[in-house]
Amino acid sequence: MSNHPWNKGKKLSLETRKKMSIVKLGKKFSDEHKLKMSIAAKGRKFSDEHRKNLSESIKKSPLCIEVRRKLSESRIGIKRNDNLGHDNPMWIDGRTTENHKIRNSLKMKLWRTSVFERDNYTCVWCEARCGNGKAIVLQADHIKPFAYYPELRFELENGRTLCLECHKKTDNYGKRKKI
């Protein structure tokens, strides 16, 4: 941490203040003197011109220029999105199941939203809905199970809005129903 104006107001430990030094400027001071200088400079407001001069001096320092050059050279040939999908070395083909892809698809999200809108965001069994300090978890339920009736997965008539408690009471909650 350095003694810059943007660090103003931050509490620094005694050891941190001792570590903060003006040695960067090439001057050597005793630890006590450095501590006194850092305490004296804490909270000091710099003019815009002085801040600009500090910024320019940091940018021109040989270390900063050298570090930036090395970083730039290390990134040559690397594109930002090279490691997505099949190009990623950790890619395992076929890991995502078809069921998972369908349940997370845009079509499924639109079906769920349209079921909620049709039922006015209210549980069709107990008529519970969010509001007045209550948070109700609503779920879009398939009347005929998702797994056994693929042709009815996105039919609006095959959906209903249920709160979590009512949904747990249905035959097809989780993996209970076998046909």
Residue 2 has pLDDT above 60, yes or no: no
86 lies in some domain: no
Q: pLDDT digits over 71-113, tens only?
A: 778 877 766 666 777 777 777 887 888 888 899 999 999 999 9
User: How high is the pLDDT of residue 40?
Assistant: 66
User: How high is the pLDDT of residue 41?
Assistant: 67
How far is Cα 48 from Cα 2, in angstroms, rounded to an integer? 18
How far is Cα 84 from Cα 90, in angstroms, rounded to an integer? 10
Place of tokens 């001071």: 29
68 lies in some domain: yes
How far is Cα 129 from Cα 116, in angstroms, rounded to an integer? 11
Assess contact for 153 and 102: CB atoms under 8 A.
yes
- Considering the domain architecture, whether residues 106 and 63 belong to the same structural domain is answered as no
134 lies in some domain: yes
- Considering the domain architecture, whether residues 70 and 104 belong to the same structural domain is answered as no
Tokens of 122: 């209210």
How far is Cα 99 from Cα 103, in angstroms, rounded to an integer? 6
User: How high is the pLDDT of residue 57?
Assistant: 76
88 lies in some domain: no
User: How many distinct structural domains can be found in the chain?
Assistant: 2
Residue 125 has pLDDT above 70, yes or no: yes
pTM over 0.95? The answer is: no
How far is Cα 46 from Cα 5, in angstroms, rounded to an integer? 7
- Considering the domain architecture, whether residues 163 and 103 belong to the same structural domain is answered as yes
Residue ranges making up the domain that contains 115? 98-168
How far is Cα 174 from Cα 165, in angstroms, rounded to an integer? 13
Q: What would the mean pLDDT of 128-138 be, rounded to a whole number?
A: 84
35 lies in some domain: yes
- pLDDT band, residue 50 (cuts 50/70/90): confident
Residue 176 has pLDDT above 60, yes or no: yes
Residue 23 has pLDDT above 50, yes or no: no
- Considering the domain architecture, whether residues 70 and 9 belong to the same structural domain is answered as yes
Residue 24 has pLDDT above 60, yes or no: no
Tell me which of 42, 74, 106 is where a domain ends: 74
Among 26-35, 65-74, 101-110, 164-173, whose mean pLDDT is lowest?
A: 26-35
Q: pLDDT digits over 150-166, tens only?
A: 999 999 999 999 999 99
107 lies in some domain: yes
176 lies in some domain: no
